[in-house]
Amino acid sequence: MTPELARSISQFRGLRREIVLGRSAGLGRRPRIGFVPTMGALHEGHASLLAQMREDCDVRIASIFVNPLQFAAGEDLDRYPRTLEADLELCAAQGVELVLAPEPAEMYPAGFQTRVQLPGLAQRWCGASRPGHFDGVATVVLKLFELVQPDLAYLGRKDYQQLRIIQQMAADLSLQTEVIGCPIVREADGLALSSRNSYLSEDERAAAPQLSRALEEMRAHFLSGEKDSARLIADGLHKLSWTEGGNPRWQVDYLAIVDPLSLEPVATASEGDVLLAAAWLGRTRLIDNMELGA
């Protein structure tokens, strides 16, 4: 069934209330509310989050909002893919009942000024190359959590730093929402699914799986006994320094081995640490990560 579509906050509140009351009456208890926040251009990675929500929750809500607050000037806000109709079909196929897809002016009316900041987790890695990005993410996610009031919220582990920031925010602010990180979904050749993969030219698409292969090799090297982070990172950088045609194409933003909670770099890698990577392929910035371990 096609989900209800709310384009305004007041419409969303009304629809949410109706659905939750109806479900409470049917179940004879308070329903468990699930939420998947997205920026649309949905793909199989999002489908896996929606499928998990469908399994766990009595009421299933998603948002589709390309959040201007998390894009810096000169980034891809204008060309970010917008595919509302196809997104609603995918939501329908995964049993989503209510979609909030507001206009920017609805979320950020004139005079809006609040920002949520996590000075520790948000400054490094993607936060260093995209100043203000995670303030925009945390602000919109807190606002969405307040509107949806979910028991469970599902986010992809592909955006590992984002996941950690939202989990930390939920813990710090004692939110009622449990934030669940779902596994990365990959193409058959290893490329992590991302709405931004649609920017890649044919040549770039062919080269793109090298990022996950570099991480795989680092993990294999770790499993065969190498624990020195600097040597593991040097391996990964070497792998990204050439392409099959011999033309260097990658511009590595960062490649790091970090503690899974603090995201601080570790000198000696151990099981459970996370390989984090961001690199440019032409005009497209790709990110990926992998947990160290079997």
> Any idea which residues carry the catalytic annotation?
46
- Identify the burial level of 180 via C-beta atoms within 10 angstroms of its C-beta, where 0-12 means exposed, 13-18 middle and 19 or more buried: middle
- Identify the burial level of 113 via C-beta atoms within 10 angstroms of its C-beta, where 0-12 means exposed, 13-18 middle and 19 or more buried: exposed
Instruction: At 33, give phi and psi (nearest 5°).
Output: -100, 130
Handedness of CA 94, 98, 104, 107 (dihedral sign): negative
Q: In which element (H, E) is residue 178 found?
A: strand 178-182
Residue 268, SS3 per DSSP: strand
137 binds ligand PAF (CB under 6 A): yes
Minimum Å distance from CB 11 to ligand PAF? 20
Nearest residue (CB) to ligand PAF, 43 versus 221: 43
Q: What is the largest CA-CA distance in the chain?
A: 65
290 binds ligand PAF (CB under 6 A): no
Residues in CB range of 125: below 8 A, 6 or more apart: 161, 254, 256, 258, 263, 276, 278
289 binds ligand PAF (CB under 6 A): no
Q: Which stretch binds ligand PAF (CB under 6 A): 16-24, 35-43, 80-88, 97-105?
A: 35-43
Task: Decide if 35 contacts 144 (C-beta within 8 A).
Answer: yes
Residue 170, SS3 per DSSP: helix
x/- letters, 151..190, toward ligand PAF (CB under 6 A): --------x--x----------------------------
Q: Which stretch binds ligand PAF (CB under 6 A): 36-44, 206-214, 258-266, 283-291?
A: 36-44
x/- letters, 61..100, toward ligand PAF (CB under 6 A): ------x--x------------------------------
38 binds ligand PAF (CB under 6 A): yes
Minimum Å distance from CB 261 to ligand PAF? 19
List 19, 33, 39, 182, residue binding ligand PAF (CB under 6 A): 39
Ranges within 107-126 binding ligand PAF (CB under 6 A):
none
State the residues that interact with ligand PAF by CB under 6 A. 37-39, 67, 70, 137, 140-141, 159, 162
